[in-house]
Amino acid sequence: MVHVRALAGTPGFEGDVDAIVRTAVEEAKTLGEAGFDGVLVENMHDTPYLVGEEIGPEIVAGMTRVGLAVREAIGDLPMGVQVLAAGNRQAIATAQAIGASFVRVENFAYAHVADEGLMARASAGELLRYRRALGAEGVRVFADIKKKHAGHSLTADIPIGEVARGAAFCGADGVIVTGGSTGQPASEADLAEVAGVTDVSVLVGSGVNADNVASMLGHADAVIVGSSLKVGGSWENELDGEACRAFVAAMHAVRN
């Protein structure tokens, strides 16, 4: 993860766009040099988030500027985009503009209540038509299911495996299983259930660290890691180079 600093127009913006770009580039280069297989650029510091179409052009412009600089810095390393919260069209547009190969999206299938409010309408139908209209079919869509920072009483009678099936049916290229919040590990039982019922890629989207990556990859095809690579294990902090190298070493051990 490259957690982009607060962009212009958000409460946390500190007034220096160039500094935002420099920090993102430095983090991406650190990850690439440590041996990670790709980077995912996300506007994590834009709290509190707007939702979907409420997200303005200033965020897309900021993410595009950051994304282009990161793209140049990491060369051919695979790159993804996420725009919070549920800025799925914005992510597709940004990815297409900067040459990213995937997006992470929320609210792709089914409805839920998140800390941003009610996400009542699934975006799959609209999003995949938008992807086609942009000629961006090469941008893969990885969809969170029963996403973190949300309640799922609306889908309480639908097991997570069936939610994964639904996302795959709606056209997701992969599904992302998380814990309840950022930094909280996904349930291995959830991972096993999802992996057992769907043919699309299964990713772990929270709480992955050097100690549990082997068990997570017992069920998943890939992991998205952020918090455990930061100083003190908190997503808000700077990257910890030693933690990055330790994680890559753990990944190499799994592959071997």
Q: What is the pLDDT of residues 36-53, one digit of tens each?
A: 999 999 999 999 999 999
**What CATH superfamily is the domain 2-255?**
Aldolase class I (3.20.20.70)
Cα–Cα distance measured from residue 229 to residue 226, given in angstroms and rounded to the nearest whole number: 6
Encode 205-225: b = buried (16+ Cβ within 10 Å), e = exposed: bbbbbbebbeebbebbebbbb
Cα–Cα distance measured from residue 168 to residue 132, given in angstroms and rounded to the nearest whole number: 17
pLDDT band at residue 69 under the 50/70/90 scheme: very high
- pLDDT for position 158: 94
Residue 221 to residues 52, 101, 177, 201, 205, Cα–Cα distance (Å): 28, 17, 11, 6, 11
Q: What is the pLDDT of residues 78-89, one digit of tens each?
A: 999 999 999 999
Q: What is the pLDDT of residues 167-188, one digit of tens each?
A: 999 999 999 999 878 878 899 9
232: Cβ–Cβ under 8 A, 6 or more apart, which residues? none
Q: What is the mean pLDDT of the chain?
A: 95
Domain spans in the chain, listed from the N-terminal domain onward: 2-255
pLDDT exceeds 90 at position 120: no
Q: What is the pLDDT of residues 232-245, one digit of tens each?
A: 999 999 999 999 99
Q: Read off the pTM.
A: 0.95
Cα–Cα distance measured from residue 195 to residue 138, given in angstroms and rounded to the nearest whole number: 24
Q: Is residue 202 classed as helix, strand or coil in its secondary structure? A: strand
What type of residue is 220?
Answer: A
β-pairing verdict for 150-151 and 174-177: unpaired
Encode 144-153: b = buried (16+ Cβ within 10 Å), e = exposed: bbbbbbbebe
Residue showing tokens 């983090």: 27
The two tokens of residue 47 are 């709290």
